[in-house]
Structure formats: structure tokens, C-alpha cells
Amino acid sequence: MKRWYGKLLGFFAGAALLRANPLLGALVGVLIGHAFDADWFRSRRDDPYRELGLAEDASDAEVDRAWRRLIAQYHPDKLAGAAEDLRRQAEARARAINAAYDRIQTLRNRK
């Protein structure tokens, strides 16, 4: 379990808000706190690991392999003779792949 403070805050907030039945309030607060601790409400669109098709506990070598595989597949130079629309889609995908890779590198260097 990574985080626990959402459950603790939810327990006290729920008990305080539902004074008529503090036990029920605390239980609801703990459940909502668990949802926040588990990142159920976090947007998955900004997850760089998901962009590369990896889990958050992937090793550096796995991140590099996934980036190389995807950038080789979607690099715009590979589609030089393709239709303009297809090339634009490949460029957008390559930008997203590179941004995700850079974000992962930044996150790992901070630790």
C-alpha cells in the first residue's frame, strides 16, 4: 500500500460531517479516501507509462526498449511516401511517445 492518508482524512471528515451516525460517516469517508489513495479519480490520459504500454514498476531497460520499439514504428521519416493525413497522425503519435519518455526520465531522475 503506497498511501494511507486519504483513508485517515476520510475517516475524520466523514465522522465529522455525519454527526447523526458518525460510524457510517467514518466508513463512507474511509471508502472515499481509499479511492483517492488508489488514484481512481486520476486521469489516465496523462500517464506516461500507459502511453508506452508499461507498468509503473518497469525497469529502465524496459522503458528504453518500449520507447525504441514505438518510435521506430511511428517515426514520421518511416512514412515519407505515405498520405499527408497518415504522416500527421504519425507525427502526433511520435510527439506523444517522446513526451512520455521524457516525462518518465524526469520522474525517475527526481527520485
Residue 10's domain comprises: 5-37
Geometric angle at alpha carbon 104, from 101 and 106, rounded to 5° = 110
Q: How many domains does the chain have?
A: 2
Do 55 and 96 share a structural domain? yes
In a domain, 43, yes or no: no
State the Cα–Cα distance between residues 54 and 21, nearest whole angstrom.
44
Do 52 and 29 share a structural domain? no
Cβ(47)–Cβ(99) below 8 Å: no
At residue 23, the pLDDT reads 83
Do 88 and 54 share a structural domain? yes
For residue 2, report the phi and psi dihedrals to the nearest 5 degrees. -80, -50
State the Cα–Cα distance between residues 95 and 102, nearest whole angstrom.
10
Question: Closest by alpha carbon to 23, among 31, 14, 34, 10?
Answer: 14
Q: Name residue 25's amino acid.
A: G
Percent residues over pLDDT 90 in the chain: 26
Do 78 and 55 share a structural domain? yes
In a domain, 25, yes or no: yes
Query: What's the pTM value of the predicted model, to 2 decimals?
Result: 0.58
Say whether pLDDT at 98 is over 60: yes
At residue 61, the pLDDT reads 94
- The pLDDT tens digits of the residues spanning 55-96 come to 888 999 999 999 999 999 988 888 777 788 888 888 999 999
Do 62 and 105 share a structural domain? yes
Do 54 and 32 share a structural domain? no
At residue 79, the pLDDT reads 77
Q: Which CATH number characterizes residue 90's domain?
A: 1.10.287.110
In a domain, 42, yes or no: no
